[in-house]
Structure 1
Amino acid sequence: MEPGQGIPIRNIAMEAYCSIILKNVTVQQAGKLLLNRISFTLKADEHLAVFGASGSGKSLLAGVLKGILSYTGSVEFKKGTQSVQPVVAYVPAMYPLRNQIHNTGRYYQQRFASSANETATVSETLLKKGDAVTVFQWLETFRLTHRSHTPLARLSGGELKKVQLVGHLLTHPDVLILDRVFTGLDAGSRKILHAVLNQLASSGTRIILITDSHELPVCITHFAELSEGALVNYAPVEQLGFMQSIPARREAPLPELKKAYHIGPLISMKQVSIRHGNTTILNNINWQVNNGECWLIKGCNGAGKSALLSLINGDHPQAYAQQIHLFGKRRGSGESIWDIKRRIGFVAPDLQHFFDPGITPAQVVGSGFFDAFGLCRKLDEAQARKVTAWLRFFSLQDKAQLPFRSLSDGEQRLVLMARALIKDPLMLALDEPCQGLDDSQSRMVIRLLERIHSETGMTLLFISHYEDEIPACVRHVIELEQGIPTLYKKTMPSTIAKSKNQPLTLGLS
C-alpha cells in the first residue's frame, strides 16, 4: 500500500472546519507563570505547527486546547458566529508502557521479562475504541497487521507510538493535536504519517502539530513560536525562512571524566538469538565491540534495536542462555546485573516513567552512582559536587530540587544523560537520546558525545532514526532487518563496506 492510500477517514466538506480563537490564555502553577496571555486565531481552513525550545510551553498549550489544564482567558471553537464543542484528540509525546502493565510491581526490565499475558495485545487495546474493520484498516495503513496479536510490552517504541496514534484516530476527532508524533518513527513510518495527516487535513480534521521546523506536513499553513511561555511569533508557514536561526550554545567545560580504557573487547556475541514464542526478535547475531569504538544501531521500528541494547545492559533475561561476553566475562558466569550496569551509562526513551513522582532532578542524577531508580543512600561530598557539576553543565542547576516530572520532556532527557555520565562509564548505550530535545539541545548533546569520545575514548552505542543526530565519531554500523544483522564500517557517508551476518572486528576509529 502506498502511503496515504486506503486511509479510513471521513469525507467532510471544508465548511465543517471550525475556527479556534484564543484570547489572553494564561496558565499559572504554584505561583509561576507558565503561559502568558497567549492570543491568536486559527481560521477554519488553517492548520498549525507549534515551535519552541524545550520548556517553552508547547505541551501546556496543547493541554489547554484539549481542556485538561486550568487556565484564565478564553478558548473558543466557532463555526461562523456559533460556538461549537468539537471532538478534540490529544496525542501526547510519550505512551507510558508502565501504565499498561497489569502487574502492580512495575520496573523497567519488565518490558523484556514480562509474560505474554501481562499486557493487552494491540488488537485488544484498539478494539475497545473502534470496530474491527476500521482497526484493521488503520493497522494496515501503518504496517502493523503482523503485530495485531502482540502484547504491548513486546512492541518497539516506534510501534507503540503508532498504536497510540491509531487509538486516538479511532475517535474520529474534529481537532487532532499531536505532540512530537514523529519522534521514534523510522523514515518509512514518517512518510506514511505525513500522507495520513495531509489526507486527514483535506477531509475535515484540524491538525495542530507540536514539532520541529524540519518535520512539517504540507497541510500546515501557519506556525506559532513560543518562548518562556509567551507567543513571540505567529505567521504563515511561508515565513519560516525568515525566522532567526538558533544561536549556538557556548561550550562549557566538561565535568571531570576518567579515561575509558579496557583491555580486550567490551562486547562479544556469537550466534545470539532472542525469541518470544514463535516470534524471532534477534536472529544469529555475531558482533564484537572493541574499546573506544562508536557504533550506530540502525533499523526500522520493531527490528530489534532496543532488544539488542537490553542484552548488553543486563535487562533481558534471555541473555543468560546466550554466548555473550561483556567486559571479558561470560554473561551468567556469576557476575551480578549491577556489575554490568556500573560500567554502562544508559538512556532510553521511556526511562523517566520509572522514577517515583516525588524525586528531584538532583536525586535522579545521583541515582546513577548506584544504577537505581531512586536515591536510597546519602551521597558523599565528592558525589554531591559531581551531581551539581553535571546539572550546571546542562543549565539545570536552578531546577535541581524541583519535582523531576515538573520538567519538560527535553529537560528530563538531559537529566537522564547526566545520570548516565555521573559514574564515568566505560560505555554509553543510548537509545534515541535526542528524543524530546529541541534543536539546540540536540546539537549540544551530539557535540557533547563527540567531545567525550575525543577526550576519554569512551565507547558509544547509539540508536537514532535521524541521520543528522548521529555524532561524527560514529564509524561502525550494525543494521537490523527483522532481527538479522548487517555489519559495516562507515568510512564516508557515501562509502560503506558491508558484510552480511558475519563477525566484524574493527579497531579504534
Structure 2
Amino acid sequence: MNAPLITLSRISAAIQGKKVLDDVSLIVNPGQHWAVIGKSGSGKSVLLKAIVGKQSITAGSIEHNFKPAHQQHTAETLASQRMALIESRHHFKNFSNTADFYYQQRYNSSDSEDALTVEQYLNAILAHVTEAHYWTLEKALDRLRLTDLYQKQLIKLSNGETKRLRIAAALVKNPTLLLLDQPMTGLDLNSRQYFNTLLQEIAASGITIVMATSPHEIPDMIQKVAVLENGKLTQTLTPAETAAQHFSWASSTPDVDEAEIASLLSLTENPTFEWIIKMSDVNVRYGEIQVLHNITWQVKQGERWALLGPNGAGKSTLLSLAYGDNPQAYANDIILFDKKRGTGESIWDIKRKCGFVSPELYQFFPMDNSCAQVIESGFYDTLGLFRQSDPSRAAIVLRWMKVFDIDKYARQLLKNVPASAQRLCLLARALVKNPTLLILDEPCQGMDNQQQQLFKHLVDTICSKSNITLIYVTHYPHEIPNAVDRYMHLQKGEVARVETVSS
C-alpha cells in the first residue's frame, strides 16, 4: 500500500490569538481527491494554507511524504515544490517585480505597460521547471483556454481569465498535490462545466486534488468530503452522502433588520437625475483588441439592472466607464448623472454618487486597515482610511456592520478576518454613504449560502425603501435580487439582447 501524501495529526491553528483550526486530523492518500466544505469562517482556507506551510500551527503535526526527484532536495524544499495552492487573492507583481498592482492600473495604458504578459508570467515559472511532465505549457494553454490571451497583460485579464491563468501556472509545475480555494468562484456556467471536465483530466494525470468549495459545487472527481464547523472536522462523507445531507448554514435564510436599514437610508437625501447612465455607440479598444463594440445603454434613476454575460464579455470594462475609472470615457458619448463626460466633472464627482464593489477591487484593496476603517473609507471613496476617523461616521459604520452581522470584526485588520467577511466589509463600504447608484459586480463571491441569502434580502430591502439605482453582475441567476427587472446580456463586447421583466 502507498504511504499517505499528507497526514494531519490533531493540528490546531490561531490568527491573532483566536483559534481557527481545532484538533483536526486528516489523511490524504495519493489519488484520493478531497473537497472541504463548511460555513464561511469555518477554517477551510486556513486548512489549505496549513497544509502547504503558509499558516503556522499551534499544536499537532503535518507530515508530507513526497518522493524526491533529486537527492539534493531537502524535506522542506521538496514539499514546497510538490504542492501548489491557488488562493482567493492573487499576488501578481508589476514588471520590475518591485510593487503590487493598483486597482485603476488596468485602465491606464501607460501604467498597464508595467505588467507582465501571460507569456512572460508563465515562462518565468517554467524557468524553474527542470523535468518533462504531462502538463506542458502548450497543453496548459490549450486546456485553460489561454492561447488567445498569450500576449495579454495580467492586469487586463478578467476575473475568470485570471483564475484560469493561475490554474495553468500551477499545472505547468506538475505538482503532486494541487490545493484549490473556491476554484469555481467567478466562473460562468459554461466555464464551470468545462472546469469539472478539466479536473478529471488533472486527476487522471496523477495529481491529487484537495479543494475548498460549496456543498453545491462538488466536482465529479471528488471522492471524499470533509466538513468543517468552527475549525473542527465534524464529518467525513462521500459526495452522495453530502448531496443528501442538510446543512443549516447552506439553506437557512437569515432575518434582516428592515427598520434599521430604513433608518440608515434616511440619513442621506439623494439628488434627482433624469439619466444615471446614457451611453451611445460606445467603443473601447486596447491596441488591436476591441473590448466594447457600439454599446448603447440607458439607465434611468431607480431602475434595477442585471448585467450578464460570460467571462471576458466586457462587463467589467463597461462598468469601469460608468464608475469613472476608464479614461476612454472621454473619447465616447457618455452621460453620467446628467453630465456628459469631459464637460468639467471630476472622477470624484462621479464616485461620490456611486457605491461600488467588484472582484478586482477585492484583489487590489489594501489589507492593513481595520474592518471598520475599510468601511468608513467608503465615505471618502478612498482605498483605505487615510485620515482621522470621524466619530459620527464611525457610529454609522458600526450600525451597518451589525446589519451585515460582521460587527465582531470591527477592530480586526481586514487581512486577519475570513475572506467572506472581507467581502462583506467591502459591500458595507459601498453602501455606507447611501449612494445614488449601486454597482455590484459579483458581490457574493466567497460567501456561503446563508450569507448570500442575507445579502440578497438586504439589497431587496434597500431597493424597496429607496430610489437607489442598481446594476448587478453575476454568473449565478439565483443570486440576482428580486428587485431586478431589467437585463442586458453582453457577448464578445456587444449587446446581445436587452430584456424587461414585468412584475
TM-score by length of 1: 0.88
Which residue, out of 106, 117, 123, partners 1:121?
117
Q: How does 1:207-286 map to 2 (within 5 A)?
A: 207-240=209-242, 241-246=244-249, 247-253=252-258, 254-255=260-261, 256-258=264-266, 262-286=272-296
SS in 2 for 1:414: helix
Distance 1:474 1:260 in 2: 20
> 1:109-156 CA distances to partner (integer Å, 9 max, x unpaired)?
112114353111111111222389922222222222111111111111
Instruction: Give how far 1:304 is off.
Output: 0.7
For the 8 Å contact 1:311–1:319, the answer to whether it is kept is yes
8 Å CA contact 2:31, 2:207 repeated in 1: no
Q: CA 1:100–1:480 in 2, change beyond 3 Å: closer, same or farther?
A: farther
Residue of structure 2 in register with 1:374 after alignment: 384
The one-letter code matched in structure 2 to 1:124 is Q
Instruction: Give the equivalent residue in structure 1 for 2:106.
Output: 111
- 1:261–1:458 contact (8 Å) kept in structure 2: no
Which residue number corresponds to residue 61 of structure 2? 74
What CA deviation, in whole Å up to 9, does each residue of 1:204-233 have, x standing for no partner? 211111010111111111111112211122
Whole-angstrom distance in 2 between the partners of 1:103 and 1:36 = 37
Matching residue of 1:300 = 310
Matches within 5 A, 1:77-476: 77-78=64-65, 87-97=82-92, 104=99, 106-115=101-110, 117-130=113-126, 134-240=136-242, 241-246=244-249, 247-253=252-258, 254-255=260-261, 256-258=264-266, 262-476=272-486
Deviations 1:367-399 (A, max 9, x none): 111101122333444322211101111122221
Q: Which residue of 1 aligns with 2:71?
A: none
Contact conserved, 1:94 with 1:350, CA < 8 A, in 2?
A: no
Could you tell me which residue of structure 1 aligns to residue 70 of structure 2?
none
Q: Secondary structure at the match of 2:427?
A: helix
Q: Which amino acid aligns with 2:118?
A: V
Quick one: distance in 2 between partners of 1:235 and 1:187? 26
Deviation at 1:446, TM superposition (A): 1.2
Q: 1:444 to 1:179 in 2, by over 3 A?
A: same
For residues 145-177 of structure 1, the C-alpha deviation after alignment (integer angstroms, 9 at most, x for no partner) is: 111111111111110111011000111111111
Per the TM alignment, residue 106 of structure 1 is displaced from its structure 2 partner at its CA by 4.9
Q: 2: distance between equivalents of 1:181 and 1:106? A: 22
Unaligned runs of 5+ in 1: 1-14, 493-508
Q: Is the 8 A contact 1:123 1:149 kept in 2?
A: yes
Contact 1:273 1:285 in 2 (8 A): yes
2:150 counterpart letter in structure 1: S
Distance 1:468 1:261 in 2: 32
Contact 1:268 1:326 in 2 (8 A): yes
Return 433-442 or 106-115, whichever deviates more.
106-115
How many Å separate the matches in 1 of 2:365 and 2:89?
A: 15
SS of the residue 1:197 aligns to: helix
What amino acid sits opposite 2:253 in the alignment?
Answer: A
Give, in whole Å, the separation in 2 of the partners of 1:39 and 1:299.
42
Q: How far apart, in 2, do the equivalents of 1:452 and 1:222 lie?
A: 41
Structure 1 residue 19: Cα displacement? 4.4
Alpha-carbon RMSD: 2.4
Q: Distance in 2 between matches of 1:279 and 1:191?
A: 27
How far is the alpha carbon of 1:441 from its aligned partner?
Answer: 0.8
Q: Give the aligned residue type for 1:129.
A: I
The whole-number CA distance in structure 2 between the counterparts of 1:287 and 1:103 is 40
| 2:10 equivalent to 1:21 | no
- For 1:439 and 1:105, locate their aligned partners in 2 and report how far apart those are by CA, in whole Å: 32
Aligned sequence identity (%):
37
SS of the residue 1:176 aligns to: strand
Q: Deviation digits for residues 340-365 of structure 1, max 9, x if unmatched? A: 00111000113244444431111111
Bigger proportion of residues as helix: 2
Q: Is the 8 A contact 1:17 1:79 kept in 2?
A: no
CA 1:37/1:422 → structure 2, altered by over 3 Å: closer, same or farther? same
Residue 99 of structure 1, CA deviation: 5.9
Paired letter, 1:139: L
CA apart distance, 1:245: 3.2
- Match in the other structure for 1:501: none
2:297 is paired with a residue whose SS is: strand
Aligned partners of 2:322, 2:2: CA distance in 1, in Å?
A: 53
Partner of 1:6: none
